[in-house]
Chain A
Amino acid sequence: MRRREAVLLLISAAVLADEVVLVRAFSIGLWHHFAYMAISIALLGFGASGTLLAVLGRRKALLSAQVGAAGWLAASAVLFALTFPLAFALVQKIPFDPFLIVWDRRQLLYLGCYYLVMFVPFFAAATVIGLALITKSEESPRLYFYNLVGSAAGAALAVSLLEIAPVEQTLLAVAGLAQGAALFALLDVVTLPTSPRVRQLAAGGVLAMLVMTLYFSARPPVVRLSQYKGLSYALNLPGARLLATRSSAIGRIDVVESPAIRQAPGLSLVAPQDATIPSQLGLFVDAETAGAITAFDGNTSALGYLDWMSTTAPYLARPDSPRVCVLGAGGGANVLLALRHGARHVDAVELDANVIRVVRETHHNFSGSLYDRADVHVRVAEGRAFLESADEQWDVIDISLVDSFAAAAVGLGAVNESYLYTQEALATYLHHLRPEGVLAVTRWIRTPPRDEIKLFATAIAALEGMGVRPADRLVLVRSWGTATLLLKREPFSAEELNRLRRWAEERLFDISYFPNMGAGQGNRFNLLAHDSYAEAVDALLAGGARRGEFLREYPFFVTPATDDRPYFFHFFRWRSLPLMLSTAGFAWVPFIEWGYLILVGTLIQSAVLGGLLIMLPLAVLRSKAPGNPRYGRGPRLSVLAYFLALGIGFMFVEMALIQRLVFFLANPVYAVAVVLAGLLLVSGLGSGWAARLVAQGY
């Protein structure tokens, strides 16, 4: 491998790793939807660099001279190595805040600044790769091999590094790769017969990289958190103390102590004074509230407050529940609930090993060794995947408030796959219940209702798929803040229903649906002017044309999610938008799934900047050289069509593979890493093979 190939390999690895690092950083500091921005910024850089190379290509002398091409390449590599960490540090100073985006027009300007600042390193890196390919176009298959294999290695390396180091340190490690590439590129220049001035410039580049490395080693850039994220708010509370921070590729976990932290989702308004919430430590995932670790001394009688939340409902339906499975165990609130209700075997399933570690190791005594008890069995796995591979059955399977209130409230998951709430998933859970067992799914209530209605529709589809009558096997309990759906394989007995109704009434919870309920019984304590729940359960249970009409006409998309279309959080209907806007203008904005809003905003911004930085210069270039066949319409259109088709095809294959692998690998981060690294690696191997074929004269 020559120096030029080494440069290509390292630069490609650094670029891909940079994208992965930015995805994590944006998820922590902003919202994970801005993670998509990292990809669009990178592609913008590559597009604009292509335009630059087209301009340089007109001045052949610039590239044809050996030193000229190597010099440009080295300059670009040094620019990348310098601007990559600098741009990261700089964007942390831009006061962009996604919460303000619809209210404050300046935020669009700040977002534009994000683009422009982050654009520079990608532009520089793309120029290195482009120059390497242009100047040795006859060797392009071989060069593509290094480019693609390097990219594959970068994706794998970034995910591996993120497993062991925080995002800021991973960034510095990746910056090391970029500097390695720049050093090789500079070496390539200085070994050529060049002027002393070029050597001086090369020495200057090395010195600048050294200074920057020393500076960032002493003062590493820190991801700036939006002041409206749960963690920022918690740290403003009196006596707040950050007790622990752990990072992995899945997310960053923070634990905060403050006497003002209290987590009791949807707590009954008439919870008695003796049902006080014990001391709690706030748990945050990617700086968003993700429950709490509750002080526990082994005495479950001190956990009375748990009985005043709708999450207790399954234990009323099934008071004798020796075996319980809690999916998304987190800080352990629902594990404590199971223990309080006499469970003798609790499987606590949690995706993020770091969550388990902070409870088990850092707060071992505080949590009463919850995850080390003989009757609690910790399973680090994705919930659905765990049950798919399990042979056991449980009395209660509990899936409660797996996503944070903030994320659910703004509809951040709108465009994410989720295999946890599909029709097939609910069928799987039901198959893992003992005959009298109960499946409980709790979600935050939103107005107008969507999550619970979609869940209800999905439950009906799952039960119908099992060939049983759904109307006898469903109960929907609703507090002012949360709703818990109960599903059974067998019909609910009259005794179970009576117990549930008494319990709910005592807590001022409504039962929006129970078998054989009368009209108006589900809207007694938590009053809705328009009882959408009653209408929804009637229409959905009626089946046939009435169900179809309801699913078509409801203002939100509540058709059940399936494994083929695993978008449970997709509620937004574009066709509702005109009516929303005509009704209340921008007051509707909070009710739109922000996932869509952000994606559309990102698309518009990148299209505008792409037009300015890629298409406009090319148009100007063409207008200045109308007679030059190099810029003629015919060949360019065919080239455009070829690469457009290739690019779109590649992206479609990539997206479809990621979606499927999320299911099989049960982890979105690993799925993306495997698909990116895998596809790029085999593409690289293909290029390497093509290079051999070319060499052999094929």
Chain B
Amino acid sequence: MSRLNESRSTTLQRFRKLGLRCALAPFAFVVVLFAQSGEENFRKLREEMVRTQLGGSRWGAQAVREPRVLEAFRQVPRHRFVSEALVPYAYEDRPLPIGYGQTISQPYIVAKMTELLEPGKSHRALEIGTGSGYQAAILSQLVSDVYTIDIIEPLGVTARERLATLGHKNVEVRIGDGYYGWSEKAPFDCIVVTAAANHIPPPLIEQLKPGGRLVVAIGNPFQTQRLLLVTKGSKGPRDIRVQDIMPVSFVPLLSGSSGQ
């Protein structure tokens, strides 16, 4: 008898579950539909961002042109790297705060820095200043391995979880002082340093491969005024050149001043 009751109760539970599922199915369908249309919207926003902010003519000679870099920006969901309150602004042409006095740089600056690195599929990249993890995610689409270091623990932990959730398996996050680079994983083909102010750590230059490229943004992310590209030649440790890359085109103004 008790077995019969048990069986009845199990059957009842199954029916209930089935009923619940049937009842919830339309809602779930709507949610998925919304999510899909939301993702579709974000995909359109990314496409628009790539078209107008990165590759648009407004940047003149400074436009980002490397197709692989542009494709990476189409793939990585920038809105997943900001807080919920800032999602509506994720694809705007502006830096966004991520807490602890740090920011996710404006898309153009991230793209320009990435392009300057000339990342290759077999390259190994080091990033100093993980922040939200967005730059690391972009690099992970372009190189073989990404090593990223952030000195602020809560940022590093969040970025690590976020990158894992989004499936960026070739990114390793370390929490610590990026000044000394990551000697165990050195040398690197490309190194990116976000928001340096008073000096570029010499250990990073040492960990750069001959032929490697290091890009550093100088100043506060809200006022990125200079991008420096450091290239290391193959003629020895002193074969180093620094190029001052202006994130916006000054050519019309400066040409005017020199009478060209």
Contact A448-B238, Cβ < 8 Å, known A260-B151, A584-B59: no
Q: A191 on the interface (CB 8 Å rule)?
A: no
In the bound complex, residues from chain A placing their C-beta under 8 Å from that of B60 are 583-584
- A24 CA / B180 CA spacing, docked (Å): 39
Please determine whether A266 and B253 come into contact, CB atoms closer than 8 angstroms.
no
Please determine whether A583 and B219 come into contact, CB atoms closer than 8 angstroms.
no
Smallest beta-carbon distance B246→chain A, Å: 5
Q: A194 on the interface (CB 8 Å rule)?
A: no
0/1 string, A252-291, CB within 8 A of B gives 1: 0000000110111111111101000000000000000100
- A589 CA / B197 CA spacing, docked (Å): 19
Please determine whether B220 and A99 come into contact, CB atoms closer than 8 angstroms.
yes
Q: A508 on the interface (CB 8 Å rule)?
A: yes
- A549 CA / B256 CA spacing, docked (Å): 11
Q: B241 on the interface (CB 8 Å rule)?
A: yes
- A585 CA / B106 CA spacing, docked (Å): 14
Smallest beta-carbon distance A281→chain B, Å: 15
**Which residues of A, 507-549, contact B by the 8 Å Cβ criterion?**
508, 525-530, 532, 535, 549
Q: A689 on the interface (CB 8 Å rule)?
A: no
Please determine whether A583 and B199 come into contact, CB atoms closer than 8 angstroms.
no
- A374 CA / B218 CA spacing, docked (Å): 39
Q: A576 on the interface (CB 8 Å rule)?
A: yes
Contact with A590, one of B153, B179, B222 (Cβ below 8 angstroms): B222
Please determine whether A555 and B256 come into contact, CB atoms closer than 8 angstroms.
yes
**Which residues of A, 206-238, contact B by the 8 Å Cβ criterion?**
227-229, 232-233, 236-238
Please determine whether B253 and A238 come into contact, CB atoms closer than 8 angstroms.
no
Of the listed residues B99, B152, B218, B222, the one surrounded by the most CB atoms of chain A closer than 10 A to its CB is: B222
**Which residues of A, 535-568, contact B by the 8 Å Cβ criterion?**
535, 549-550, 553-555
Contact with A481, one of B99, B100, B198, B247 (Cβ below 8 angstroms): B198
Q: A53 on the interface (CB 8 Å rule)?
A: no
Q: A652 on the interface (CB 8 Å rule)?
A: no
In the bound complex, residues from chain B placing their C-beta under 8 Å from that of A589 are 223
Contact A579-B108, Cβ < 8 Å, known A527-B242, A584-B248: no
Please determine whether B244 and A266 come into contact, CB atoms closer than 8 angstroms.
no
Q: B225 on the interface (CB 8 Å rule)?
A: yes
Q: Of A345-353, A379-387, A404-412, A608-616, which binds chain B? A: A404-412
- A313 CA / B250 CA spacing, docked (Å): 30
Contact with A553, one of B198, B219, B259 (Cβ below 8 angstroms): B259
Q: A574 on the interface (CB 8 Å rule)?
A: no
Please determine whether B179 and A236 come into contact, CB atoms closer than 8 angstroms.
no
Please determine whether B222 and A587 come into contact, CB atoms closer than 8 angstroms.
no
Please determine whether A480 and B151 come into contact, CB atoms closer than 8 angstroms.
no
Of the listed residues A260, A262, A481, the one surrounded by the most CB atoms of chain B closer than 10 A to its CB is: A481
In the bound complex, residues from chain A placing their C-beta under 8 Å from that of B94 are 103-104
In the bound complex, residues from chain B placing their C-beta under 8 Å from that of A579 are 252-253, 256
Contact A508-B240, Cβ < 8 Å, known A103-B95, A588-B248, A590-B223: yes
Q: A469 on the interface (CB 8 Å rule)?
A: no
Please determine whether A526 and B242 come into contact, CB atoms closer than 8 angstroms.
yes
Q: B66 on the interface (CB 8 Å rule)?
A: no
Contact A587-B108, Cβ < 8 Å, known A530-B250, A532-B254: yes
Q: A694 on the interface (CB 8 Å rule)?
A: no
In the bound complex, residues from chain B placing their C-beta under 8 Å from that of A446 are 225-226
0/1 string, B79-95, CB within 8 A of A gives 1: 00000000000000111
Closest to A409 in B: B219
- A346 CA / B155 CA spacing, docked (Å): 45
- A96 CA / B143 CA spacing, docked (Å): 39
Please determine whether B153 and A270 come into contact, CB atoms closer than 8 angstroms.
no
- A93 CA / B85 CA spacing, docked (Å): 19
Q: A100 on the interface (CB 8 Å rule)?
A: yes
Please determine whether A527 and B241 come into contact, CB atoms closer than 8 angstroms.
yes
Contact A530-B240, Cβ < 8 Å, known A100-B97, A267-B199, A555-B257: no
Closest to B153 in A: A238
**Which residues of B, 145-175, contact A by the 8 Å Cβ criterion?**
151-153
Contact A587-B248, Cβ < 8 Å, known A553-B259, A555-B257: yes
In the bound complex, residues from chain A placing their C-beta under 8 Å from that of B205 are 269-270
**Which residues of B, 206-260, contact A by the 8 Å Cβ criterion?**
218-220, 222-226, 228, 230, 237-238, 240-244, 246-259
**Which residues of A, 573-600, contact B by the 8 Å Cβ criterion?**
576, 579-580, 583-591
Please determine whether A448 and B259 come into contact, CB atoms closer than 8 angstroms.
no
Please determine whether A269 and B242 come into contact, CB atoms closer than 8 angstroms.
yes
Smallest beta-carbon distance A161→chain B, Å: 31
Of the listed residues B197, B251, B256, the one surrounded by the most CB atoms of chain A closer than 10 A to its CB is: B197
Smallest beta-carbon distance B191→chain A, Å: 12
In the bound complex, residues from chain A placing their C-beta under 8 Å from that of B259 are 549, 553
Smallest beta-carbon distance A528→chain B, Å: 5
Please determine whether B238 and A508 come into contact, CB atoms closer than 8 angstroms.
yes
Please determine whether B223 and A480 come into contact, CB atoms closer than 8 angstroms.
no
Closest to B95 in A: A103
Please determine whether B101 and A227 come into contact, CB atoms closer than 8 angstroms.
yes
Q: B202 on the interface (CB 8 Å rule)?
A: yes
Q: A447 on the interface (CB 8 Å rule)?
A: yes
In the bound complex, residues from chain A placing their C-beta under 8 Å from that of B250 are 447-448, 530, 555, 583
Contact A587-B197, Cβ < 8 Å, known A530-B254, A535-B258: no
Q: B21 on the interface (CB 8 Å rule)?
A: no
Please determine whether B197 and A260 come into contact, CB atoms closer than 8 angstroms.
no
Please determine whether B95 and A448 come into contact, CB atoms closer than 8 angstroms.
no
In the bound complex, residues from chain B placing their C-beta under 8 Å from that of A445 are 226
Smallest beta-carbon distance B202→chain A, Å: 5
Contact A555-B200, Cβ < 8 Å, known A527-B241, A590-B223: no
In the bound complex, residues from chain B placing their C-beta under 8 Å from that of A267 are 198-200, 202
In the bound complex, residues from chain B placing their C-beta under 8 Å from that of A232 are 101
Q: B58 on the interface (CB 8 Å rule)?
A: yes
Contact with B253, one of A236, A262, A580 (Cβ below 8 angstroms): A580
- A108 CA / B75 CA spacing, docked (Å): 34
Smallest beta-carbon distance A247→chain B, Å: 23
In the bound complex, residues from chain A placing their C-beta under 8 Å from that of B200 are 267, 269, 480-481
In the bound complex, residues from chain A placing their C-beta under 8 Å from that of B252 are 579, 583
- A200 CA / B175 CA spacing, docked (Å): 62
Contact A576-B253, Cβ < 8 Å, known A269-B242, A480-B200, A526-B244: yes
Please determine whether A409 and B198 come into contact, CB atoms closer than 8 angstroms.
no
In the bound complex, residues from chain A placing their C-beta under 8 Å from that of B249 are 583-584
Q: B177 on the interface (CB 8 Å rule)?
A: yes
In the bound complex, residues from chain B placing their C-beta under 8 Å from that of A448 are 246, 250, 253-254
Please determine whether A228 and B198 come into contact, CB atoms closer than 8 angstroms.
no
Please determine whether B254 and A555 come into contact, CB atoms closer than 8 angstroms.
yes
Please determine whether A447 and B246 come into contact, CB atoms closer than 8 angstroms.
yes
**Which residues of B, 50-82, contact A by the 8 Å Cβ criterion?**
58-60
Contact with A238, one of B177, B240, B242 (Cβ below 8 angstroms): B177
In the bound complex, residues from chain A placing their C-beta under 8 Å from that of B218 are 481
Please determine whether B198 and A263 come into contact, CB atoms closer than 8 angstroms.
yes
Closest to A592 in B: B223
Shortest 5 CB-CB contacts between residues of A and residues of B: A590-B223, A267-B199, A555-B253, A584-B248, A103-B94
Q: List 30 A-B contacts (CB under 8 A).
A: A103-B95, A104-B94, A237-B151, A237-B152, A238-B151, A260-B151, A263-B198, A265-B198, A265-B199, A267-B202, A269-B240, A270-B237, A405-B197, A405-B198, A406-B219, A406-B220, A410-B220, A447-B225, A447-B226, A525-B241, A526-B241, A550-B257, A555-B250, A555-B257, A583-B252, A584-B59, A585-B58, A590-B219, A590-B223, A590-B225
- Not counting A448-B254, A481-B198, A583-B60, a sample of 6 additional A-B residue pairs whose C-beta atoms are within 8 angstroms of each other reads A99-B223, A237-B152, A266-B198, A270-B238, A553-B257, A590-B224
